[in-house]
Structure 1
């Protein structure tokens, strides 16, 4: 069974807006949420700015990302919110690059847990989502992508 990365509709709108505002450059950040039987469920996405981003490069600021993550986890009353992974945009209709895949694998190994990656690619019909999961053995799995309650597969 192929697992699915699910976003709330609000998160999907937030990501598309952030991507559009950053054009022609890439942007990205953190995915937060929880895991279900079918895969990661993203309830929050946060932009972590990269002032040096280009149309082909985004690098997340580690210090800023850790600050956002700590603040959100501390503020969560449910104890269910956690770090799911990373997201970034490609202002062209291209899914995750080899660099993206390798970086996700390295993050999973370093953290000792699965890391989801969502790449939003801009095509002629708007933004589309491409998702994968890396585990601590650096095994990469393509995930289905869906937006909760919309029937949209990204």
Structure 2
């Protein structure tokens, strides 16, 4: 059974809007939420700007990302929201690159937990989500992308 990266409709709008505003450059940030048996469930996506981003490169600022993550977790009254992984865009119809996969794999290994990676790629039909799960042992799994409440997959 293929597991799923589930996004709330509000998260999908946030990602699409940030991606469109950033064109022609890449943009990215953090995925926040919780893990279920079906896969990661994203309830918040935070932008971590990269002023040096280009059409083919995004690198998040680790210190800024940590501050944003800490702030988001402190603001969560449910105690359920945590760090799931990373997202960024490709302003071309291309899914995760080898560089993206290797970087996420390193995060999983160093952090000792699974990392979800979501790449939004633009194409003739708008933004399309490509998702992977990487674990600390170096295993990679392709995830289906589903947007809650829309009847559509991202």
- Do they superpose with TM above 0.5? yes
Q: Distance in 2 between matches of 1:104 and 1:141?
A: 12
Which residue pairs with 2:122 in the alignment? 122
Q: CA deviation at 1:2?
A: 1.0
Matched, 1:113 2:113: yes
Which residue pairs with 1:91 in the alignment? 91
Q: Distance in 2 between matches of 1:15 and 1:132?
A: 17
Q: CA deviation at 1:77?
A: 1.2
4+ aligned runs moved over 2 Å, structure 1: none
Which residue pairs with 1:17 in the alignment? 17
Q: Distance in 2 between matches of 1:37 and 1:108?
A: 18
Which residue pairs with 2:100 in the alignment? 100
Q: CA deviation at 1:79?
A: 0.7
Which residue pairs with 1:151 in the alignment? 151
Matched, 1:43 2:43: yes
Deviations 1:111-150 (A, max 9, x none): 0000000000000110000000000011110001000111
Q: Distance in 1 between matches of 2:104 and 2:93?
A: 20
Q: CA deviation at 1:98?
A: 0.7
Gaps of 5+ in 1: none
Q: Distance in 1 between matches of 2:132 and 2:57?
A: 19
Query: Matched residue pairs, number?
Result: 154
Q: CA deviation at 1:36?
A: 1.2
Matched, 1:140 2:151: no
Q: What TM-score results when the alignment is normalised by the length of structure 1?
A: 0.99
Deviations 1:78-110 (A, max 9, x none): 110000100000000000001111111000001
Q: Distance in 2 between matches of 1:75 and 1:19?
A: 25
Gaps of 5+ in 2: none
Q: What TM-score results when the alignment is normalised by the length of structure 2?
A: 0.99
